[in-house]
Amino acid sequence: MLTIRISCCSSGNYYNQGAQRKQELLNSCAVLGIPDSRITIVDHKRLPDDPKADWSVSLVSSMIVKHMRAQSFNMVLTFDGSGVSGHANHIAIHKAVSHLASSGQVPNDCCLLSLVTVGLLRKYISFLELPFSWLLPSCLRCIIGSQGYRQAKDAMFCHRTQLLWFRYLYITLSRYMFVNTFQMIPRGPKNLKIY
């Protein structure tokens, strides 16, 4: 049986809406069938929700590995090095997971995957992007059917504070609402700057 756990490294307080955004995340996860007991939302002063803030890779790494060990994960899905939208916080999470992979702190039976960032045109051609996604070398493709799309759309609508005009375009046209491709995060030594 698949057990999904969510770990969010920020309360989303960039516009002083942290409490509301926490509740929106819980509501969104409930739509997806993920109970509150499987959701961890971190609210750390050194991890501000800020698209320009550089988070400490060592701090994020230590928090992630602590959560992984407490829950015995066998798979971790995260952002890739471009953070899907270029968000610095998303990129820091990828760097932290990559650091854990390269330093041997993740059990060998745990698969580490990152969501592949695509360019703007491919991002917004909706389900028409599906044939292109098959050309990418990747470890896993997740295709969302019409029922999954409706559920994902309902989950997105729970995030009321984030429903700006471009989010409606995202919900309607983004390939991420229809197909997601993941690549394996390599293990082994790397030259990764830790701060």
Q: How many CA atoms lie within 13 A of 125 on its CB side?
A: 11
Domain residues for 165?
6-184
pLDDT of residue 188: 80
101 located within any domain: yes
At 79, give phi and psi (nearest 5°): -75, 165
Query: Residues 97-145: pLDDT tens digits?
Result: 999 999 999 988 899 999 999 989 889 988 788 787 777 666 677 888 8
Q: Which residues pair with 8 in a beta bridge?
A: 41
90 located within any domain: yes
Q: What region does 177 belong to: left with phi over 0, alpha with psi -120 to 50, or beta?
A: alpha
Distance (Å, whole) CA 162 – CA 176:
17
Element (DSSP H or E) covering residue 39: strand 39-41
65 located within any domain: yes
pTM of structure = 0.89
191 located within any domain: no
Domain containing 25 — which CATH number? 3.40.50.10320
27 located within any domain: yes
Q: What is the mean pLDDT of residues 170-193?
A: 86
Distance (Å, whole) CA 192 – CA 195:
10
189 located within any domain: no
194 located within any domain: no
Query: Residues 39-79: pLDDT tens digits?
Result: 999 999 999 999 889 999 999 999 999 999 898 889 999 99
pLDDT band for position 189 (cuts 50, 70, 90): confident
Q: What is the mean pLDDT of residues 1-14?
A: 92
Q: What region does 12 belong to: left with phi over 0, alpha with psi -120 to 50, or beta?
A: left
- Using a pLDDT cut of 70, give the percent of the chain over it: 95
192 located within any domain: no
Number of domains in the chain: 1
pLDDT of residue 6: 96
